[in-house]
A and B are shown apart, each in its own frame.
Chain A
Amino acid sequence: MTDVPMTQVGERLDALVNANEIVLFMKGTPLFPQCGFSSRAIAILEHLGQPFETVDVLADQEIRQGIKQYSDWPTIPQLYVKGEFVGGSDIMMEMFESGELKALVAA
């Protein structure tokens, strides 16, 4: 087994979500998203106009697996705002359309 203990990944993830107001765990990069759902998430964040950080899970297998357990969420992308898990791209879209996401990042 080459599995890294969950606590160690958990600490890395804690550090990432707490060091940045808005963090998107995604496949690829904002310029070159590698999946339609990640691409949609980036489009939403760009509309909001607030600075955000991204983490490419394809470049880090430990993060890629770890984040799913960390949030109890089976898919990528995943958005964190102010250290809290907000949801995946479907929830982002719903919250964007209702104005909730704008309020959340501006608060």
Chain B
Amino acid sequence: MAMAAADIEALIMSAIPDARVEIKDLRGDGDHYAARVVSASFAGMSRVRQHQAVYAALGGRMGGELHALQLETAIPSGDHE
């Protein structure tokens, strides 16, 4: 089972519209990804909550259809206005 990077990005963007999403296919096999998700909506959330928000966006695919997604979340810094 595998997912295209564009599908992962689309799912995240639909749930977290302001997100900046970068996805790397780590092995080129469509099954092992690393994602960095930056969103102002993460402000005030613990790391666990930030990751849970991304997993929720993926709607249960994480750990199933999507085997491996190294995840990094962050709040935008230095973006005033």
Contacts and interface: CB of A to CB of B under 8 A. Distances in A.
Interface of A: 36-37, 68, 72-75, 85-88, 90-91, 94-95
A75 B62 contact: yes
Given A37-B68, A90-B70, A90-B71, A68 B63 contact: yes
Nearest to B32: A36
Contact of A90 (B51, B52, B60, B63): B51
Contacts of A86: 48
Indicate the member of A75, A86, A88, A95 with the most B CB atoms within 10 Å.
A75
A37 B52 CA distance: 18
Interface string B48-79: 10011001000010111000101110000000
Nearest to A35: B68
Interface of B: 47-48, 51-52, 55, 60, 62-64, 68, 70-72
Nearest to B62: A74
Contacts, number: 31
Given A74-B62, A75-B62, A94 B48 contact: no
Contacts of B72: 90, 94
Contacts of B64: 74
Contacts of A72: 52
B47 A74 contact: no
Given A37-B68, A73-B48, A90-B71, 19 more contacts: A36-B68, A68-B63, A73-B55, A74-B55, A74-B60, A74-B62, A74-B64, A75-B62, A75-B63, A85-B48, A86-B48, A87-B48, A87-B51, A90-B70, A90-B72, A91-B47, A91-B48, A91-B51, A94-B47
